Structure 1
Amino acid sequence: MNGSTEHPLHETLLHDALHAHVRESGGDAAGASLVGLADGALRVARRRQWLARTGVGVAAVAVVATAWVTVADGATPRAHVVQPAAVDGTGNTGKAAPVSLLPVTSSTEQACTEGSGGYTVHATANQPAFCVRADRARGMTDVRVTSAKAEKSTTDGTWQVEVTLSPADRTRFAALTGSIAGAPAPRNGFAIIIDGKLWGRPSVASSITGGRFEIVGAYVGDLTSATAHDLAHRLDPGK
């Protein structure tokens, strides 16, 4: 068979079952929507199969996910439709996660209280919990990195993500790190915030002019190979 007539069994059975259900129920508006979803899913399945055969592999196919909602007896079944963001040929959304680099103002040995505005570093088997507070007004927000690479440290073998900033942000970063370098701990450090979560709090001894820094986790050794590669992928849409 060729790619235009053969399609996966699961999607075909779902497609036919929904059509039959709509015919039996009289073909109301909700039924028409379900038929449209089934037709769309079948077209997507055919497209994915054709791409796999032609060597494209897992390419840019926008899949419509449906989550069924339980309804009371006698009510019309409904499907909640989730439309993922469009993807490019790499499977990436094409938009990197923004980073905030904020000067640390305090670090106390306890979890942050709700609504305090701090970032909690959760306790581990060997380390206590901390509440880290940072100065957003003096920091760099919505930073888009030019590259991010997961790698193992040559010093202790732990996983880290090496981040490179754009030329414009390198200048800002040099000024930021230079302004906190002479402060006593913990105010000589900066918080690395991604998606509202603290990913690192490195301290600096002098201005960092090269536009590069490493993310190692809230505690050194926090990152695994999987989390380091996932974070690098989220920061760098070119991967």
Structure 2
Amino acid sequence: MNDSTEHPLHDALHAHVEEGGADAAGPYLVGLADGALQVARRRQRLARAGAGIAAAAVLATAWVAVADGATQRAHVVQPATGETGNAEKVALISLLPVTSATEIACTPGGGGYTVHASATHPAMCVHADRARGMTDVRAASAKAARSTRIGTWRVEVTLSPADRTRFAALTGSLAANPAPRNEFAIVINGKLWGSPSVTASITGGRLVIVGVYDGDLSSATAHDLALRLDTGR
């Protein structure tokens, strides 16, 4: 077939429209026929140029003809994009003993974690001891959940058996300290996500992330964080 030769489908659809008179679907059928002919010609030209593989990646837009005078809708066929879902590397957690917390933003380069001021809370600078803490902890599981008591969003994290033992020892060493040294900082990818206080050793291997202040997490933020922490996905 050369570029000047009409396609049989093209001829048949045009003939049908001419015989059917003012059928409401007529213009759409003509458009479909012309579109099909253009696609056929394009494929022929690409094949001649040795670009058959490239043709498979070209977006194909087909105009769908709907009877009874309905408007035409464009259906765009996209090439495959590969794996779906969150493809980021699993986020790691650091659980660090808090050494100080002051109501002022951290000095740049000072090594602290700044909590920015809000309408209800002042700015804070939290310093933590990495040497005594747990770093690069991989959660065994994580899920977003809503508090049944106050309705705020949280991320419930479960630690591996080995990390449960370490976490129990860490929290036990903090429990008797005065505030804020009875707190541990939850740091994920360099960001402070909370600094809960403890009154006894936490032996169950579970912790809850609610944000720096309870109520900080939205549904979207909690679900995204859980997805990045969960190693079972």
Q: Normalising TM by the smaller chain, what interval?
A: 0.5 to 0.7
| Runs of 4 or more above 6 Å deviation | none
Q: Deviations over 1:117-159 (max 9, x none)?
A: 0000111101001000000000000000011110111221111
In structure 2, relative to structure 1, the CA distance for the partners of 1:43 and 1:94 (3 Å cut) is farther
TM-score, scaled to structure 2: 0.66
Aligned residues: 172
| Structure 2 contact 88–228 (Cα < 8 Å) conserved | no
Matches of 1:142 and 1:230, distance apart in 2: 19
| Structure 1 contact 94–237 (Cα < 8 Å) conserved | no
Pair 1:132 & 2:126 matched = yes
SS of aligned partner of 1:188: coil
Q: Deviations over 1:153-205 (max 9, x none)?
A: 12211110000000000000000000001000000000000010000100000
Q: Which stretches in structure 1 are left out of the alignment for 5+ residues?
A: 1-15, 24-34, 52-59, 62-88
* Identity value in percent: 68
In structure 2, relative to structure 1, the CA distance for the partners of 1:41 and 1:102 (3 Å cut) is farther
Match of 1:55 in 2: none
Q: Which stretches in structure 2 are left out of the alignment for 5+ residues?
A: 1-41, 61-76
Match of 1:164 in 2: 158
Matches of 1:134 and 1:200, distance apart in 2: 12
Give the CA deviation at 1:237.
3.9
Give the CA deviation at 1:93.
2.6
| Structure 2 contact 144–153 (Cα < 8 Å) conserved | yes
How do 1:10-49 and structure 2 match up within 5 A?
39=54, 42=57, 49=78
How do 1:1-239 and structure 2 match up within 5 A?
39=54, 42=57, 49=78, 61=82, 91-93=85-87, 95-239=89-233
In terms of Rg, which structure is larger?
Answer: 2
Q: What is the identity, as a one-letter code, of the residue corresponding to 1:227? A: T
In structure 2, relative to structure 1, the CA distance for the partners of 1:40 and 1:185 (3 Å cut) is farther
Give the CA deviation at 1:238.
2.9
Give the CA deviation at 1:95.
3.5
RMSD: 3.1
